[in-house]
Chain A
Amino acid sequence: MDETVAEFIKRTILKIPMNELTTILKAWDFLSENQLQTVNFRQRKESVVQHLIHLCEEKRASLNDAALLDIIYTQFHQHQKVWDVFQMSKGPGEDVDLFDMKQFKNSFKKILQRALKNVTVSFRETEENAIWIRIAWGTQYTKPNQYKPTYVVYYPQTPYAFKSSSTLRRNTPLLGQALTIASKHHQIVKMDLRSRYLDSLKAIVFKQYNQTFETHNSTTPLQERSLGLDINMDSRIIHENKVEKERVQRITQETFGDYSQPQLEFAQYKLETKFKSDLNGSILAEREEPLRCLIKFSSPHLLEALKSLAPAGIADAPLSPLLTCIPNKRKNYFKIRDK
């Protein structure tokens, strides 16, 4: 086994937390059950890692096996990366998409290898009809850097792919090209949507953030919701603004629904608008050029935070459509100009 491969596997395994180690190794399915049973996982981590490397050497792990382990680690730790969303389009009158996995993989690899010579491409298919692609970039003269790979999650027979944002931006056009051609599309465009949470991005892009639907079989009417106030608690307590609170709850429920919101960390608004003022003769009002400013809303869970603004009394209901349109428009980057 190559030293670089050994080092690569070692560093990957060192990243894995001890409580996930057996799960990930099983998913990797490279070391056999028997081999794994010989390892004492209660030792100090370094000893465990040493033993595992030894076993990998016995089995002659290749670079591809190591890359696969890296993919699995990333699948378990998706939110360590920030994901961008890309949308592809076909030309008019294109044939029906007869996606052939083998063809796609070969085509994708060939395009990158032709352009760069030194590149490691690995694939892993998941049960949800998605394909994870890992690309380690090199150049014509240098070997691929295994420690700064790019990941692409592509959903075959859809126009969407998710890419981990990396510092090596110069390879993005090539990657886009490879993906477009291999999947038999014409164009690829980056959407204004970005988050650490791949599942949430998927839910927003495919409009599947709520999987409950009203049917005639459902016995609980969806309109019935108890206000968080527990108004029934004591008849001696009178809520003076009950009507207003109910109105706010109703509007919030209509806008955001009852389901849990997809998870985003921020929403960014770039404004290029002229200054508007009531005062005449203000210096800024005379400016011909638009003012530029950037407004960024950050939160561990932005949409849930927005949902709770009106019920908490911090904002008026209904909220500005610029905030509530985020899942519907599938963006969290906005550019606002004067019309």
Chain B
Amino acid sequence: ALPCFCTAGSQSTPGPVGFVLKTWLAGILAPGLGVLAHLERLETQVSRSRKQSEELQSLQAQEGALGTKIHKLRHLRDELRAALWHRRGNVKACIANVEPNRTVEVNEEEALEEKLENVKAVLQAYHFTGLSGKLTSRGVCVCINTAFEGNLLDSYFVDLVIQKPLRIHHHSVPVFIPLEEIAAKYLQTNIQHFLFSLCEYLNAYSGRKYQADRLQSDFAALLTGPLQRNPLCNLLSFTYKLDPGGQSFLFCARLLYKDLTATLPTDVTVTCQGGEALSTSWEEQRASHETLFCTKPLHQVFASFARREKLDESGLLIDCFHCTGNTSAK
């Protein structure tokens, strides 16, 4: 018998050749077939187990690799998380830092509002200077606020177009104010003079109108007829008495305001109705009235007439007390 064993080392003689060899040998060595088959089985078992262990090893290796990878990724995740928290923390800190900035902004807003209110107030106060204006798309709109004796009266507007020549577009100046004349004189050459001149005329007109209106409304009791006036209020004619109830003389007054920029008359004529020769006291009164009208505003003159009446009345009262010997009347 030939002692031939195919050792497991026949790994190097792979597969089919080795197997054919084995089966040939097995065929030759037919009587020992069971043993060879058994040996074969063992061999395959061993190779299988080797493969398995190799596979296992590779799997294990893979597993190990994946494990390390997982480990690495987890580490990375943790790092990123930490970084994220860190950044959020920073942002919060930043916000916390920004809060003081925001209050600064609010303060700025308040400051701007205050400035706006200031400017508005200045513009309103501007009105009280009597002459104010606002730029328009084509020029300027001038506002003249008139006043007399501290009373704010009507406002008048003139809308100017800044072109060559400078012209008035429209206005609210009363038609009897000589606006065209004033414009013809000054508008093209000296606009400041134009505005001041117009202011003068309008303020004087407002003042005269105010006096005439006050006379009509407050002292109607002393007027014995309607107050005759013209649009410019520069010619006033009226009859009046000093005593609202009684029988005193009637005076006729005629006031001429030849200076349109003045609020006091230039010519005053006071006559007594009846026309007969007056007693000296009445003549003195008449003359004094003329002077009064020339020097004081109309309504103030009448106010002084009314006061004088009251004084006379109280004078009588004092006399009465004196008569009855009442010493407490001092």
A residues at B contact (CB < 8 Å):
95-102, 129, 155-158, 160, 206-211, 213-217, 222-223, 254, 328
Contact = CB atoms under 8 A, between A and B. Distances in A.
Contacts of A213: 141, 143, 157, 159, 172
A211 B174 CA distance: 12
Nearest to A203: B170
B230 A157 contact: yes
A98 B123 contact: no
B134 A214 contact: yes
Interface in B294-328: none
Contact of A157 (B132, B138, B168, B176): B176
Contacts of A97: 232, 234
Q: Kindly list the 10 A-B residue pairs having the minimum CB-CB distance in the complex, ordered from nearest.
A: A157-B176, A213-B157, A216-B123, A129-B231, A99-B230, A214-B141, A210-B170, A206-B175, A98-B235, A158-B175
B136 interface: yes
A158 B169 CA distance: 19
A216 B134 contact: yes
A99 B258 contact: no
Contact of B172 (A101, A156, A158, A211): A211
A160 B180 CA distance: 12
Most chain-B CB neighbours within 10 Å: which of A211, A216, A222? Answer: A216
Contacts of B167: 328
A210 B170 CA distance: 7
Given A98-B235, A129-B176, A216-B123, A209 B143 contact: no
Most chain-A CB neighbours within 10 Å: which of B138, B235, B259? Answer: B235
Interface in B230-285: 230-232, 234-235, 237, 256, 258-260
Given A98-B234, A207-B168, 16 more contacts: A95-B258, A96-B234, A100-B230, A100-B235, A101-B228, A155-B175, A155-B231, A158-B175, A207-B169, A210-B159, A213-B143, A213-B157, A214-B136, A214-B159, A216-B124, A222-B136
B22 interface: no
Contacts of B123: 216-217
7 contacts: A156-B176, A158-B175, A160-B175, A207-B168, A215-B157, A216-B132, A222-B136
A208 B171 contact: yes
Most chain-B CB neighbours within 10 Å: which of A96, A155, A208, A222? Answer: A96
Contacts of A211: 172
Most chain-A CB neighbours within 10 Å: which of B120, B175, B228? Answer: B175
A220 to B, nearest CB: 14
A320 B100 CA distance: 63
B187 to A, nearest CB: 13
Contacts of B192: none
A101 B136 contact: no
B258 A96 contact: yes
Nearest to B259: A96
Contacts of A206: 175
B170 A209 contact: yes
B217 interface: no
B103 interface: no
A157 B257 CA distance: 14
B198 to A, nearest CB: 14
B137 interface: yes
A11 to B, nearest CB: 34
Contacts of A98: 230, 234-235, 256, 258
Nearest to B256: A98
Contacts of B159: 210, 213-214
Contacts of A210: 159, 170
